[in-house]
Amino acid sequence: MELTSTSFLVTLIVVTALAVLAALLLWNRIPGPGWVRWPARLLMIGLCQLTAICVVATWINGSYGLYSSWDDLLGTDEGQELGAMTGPPVGRARFTQGGDGTRTTYFRGSHSKLAGQVTVWTPPEYSAPGAARTRFPVLMLLHGYPGTPRTWIDLGSMPGALTDLVNLGAAHPFILVIPEIYPGGVNTDCSNTPDRKIADWLAEDVPELVARNFRTLPAPGGWGLMGVSTGAFCAAKLPLQYPKVFRAGAALDPDPLTGDPEVLSDPVLRERNSPMWLVEHTRKADVGLFLATSAQDKDSPPQQLAAFAEAAAGSGVRVKTLVRPTGGHNFQTWTGMYPDALGWLSTELGPPTAS
């Protein structure tokens, strides 16, 4: 059971309720003398408090993404990193059906040599009668740091939020692809480094896996990204680096668009992998970018969106910005941006098309 999953939080709530109920029922039924009964009662009180604290701690962790997994919490990411290179190649990857309609696999990419988890969800239209020859646009969802693919489902209201917009006619029925953005536990802001080719993982390995196993529109016209926080930084930069793979990217509250020195200490590597540098050195790329933030978000100030739009002028890159008056750096704010972001992506990417 994953640390950030809803099922884990619900289980803790049930255990807490049972602990309280047991204390009430057993309080006056404990046999023996007082020196036996009172320690037992103190133990019951302590158990109730411990389970209640676990519920609150889990809820806070899920809301703020403090720890993304048990390995992260226990400090065993190093072992995970060593095992991250294992896994079947793309040709032998097998998807496992989940109870929430998603399919998940763990595979090793042939380009990056990295391995990680990828979750895929297909819209109801994908399996509708008569749709066997229809190909669908793909939207890759990029989580933040720390975070996991499950963050989009447990906290980000996906795929339900997309389904609601599709039913309103406000968005395409996308195939949703949710990959790990730092396989092995090392964050590089989705960049290729001498040690880790995470950009190749996201822009080559994952698309190859999905195109092999699902009816997708061809790249780049049918492929886009949407990210939050660190994932938003990646959603802004990957279309600029891989315009033959991604037509559009929607960045919700992106990290500093000039790069983060704490992630990439090499100033040249950091600059060449920043959306700001890339857009200034991009010419005539058929790419669209949607950048959104709130006036209250100090982690993603509106000024950087204006600076980016100014830098993009004359590059050929289509830029649309959105600044909401209120909101923090969290999914409550980001879900409020979905209608604008998904509606815009639906104008940039092709609709489902019969082949």
In tens, the pLDDT along 37-69 reads 889 999 999 999 999 999 998 877 665 445 556
**DSSP string for residues in 142-175:** E--SS--THHHHHTS-TTHHHHHHHHTTSS--PE
Q: What's the average model confidence in pLDDT over 198-212?
A: 97
Average pLDDT (158-170) is 97
127 to 4, 43, 89, 101: CA distances (angstroms): 30, 54, 27, 12
Q: Residue range 166-181: average pLDDT?
A: 97
pLDDT of the residue at 78? 44
Confidence tier at 282 by pLDDT (50, 70, 90): confident
> How buried is residue 163: exposed, middle or buried, by Cβ count under 10 Å (0-12/13-18/19+)?
middle
Residue 79 has pLDDT above 60, yes or no: no
pLDDT level of residue 85 (50, 70, 90 thresholds): low
Instruction: Record the tokens describing residue 347, joined without a space.
Output: 């104008």
Question: What's the pLDDT at 4?
Answer: 64
pLDDT band at 75 (very low <50, low <70, confident <90, very high): low
Buried b (16+ CB within 10 A) or exposed e, 312-335: beebebbbbebbbeebebbbebbb
Question: Roughly how many angstroms between the first and final C-alpha of the chain, as a whole number?
Answer: 40
Q: Are 149 and 179 in contact (CB under 8 A)?
A: yes
Lowest mean pLDDT among 66-70, 125-129, 138-142, 339-343: 66-70
Angle, alpha carbons 254-256-261 (nearest 5°): 130
Q: For the residues 303-330, what does the mean pLDDT come to?
A: 94
CA atoms within 13 A on the CB side of 206: 33
Question: Which carries the bigger pLDDT value, residue 344 or residue 66?
Answer: 344
Question: Which residues neighbour 293 within 8 Å (Cβ) at sequence distance 6 or greater?
Answer: 252, 253, 254, 300, 301, 302, 305, 322, 323, 324
- Per-residue confidence at 81, pLDDT binned at 50, 70, 90? very low
- What average pLDDT score do residues 106-123 get? 94
pLDDT at 146: 86
Contact (Cβ atoms closer than 8 angstroms) between residue 4 and residue 148: yes
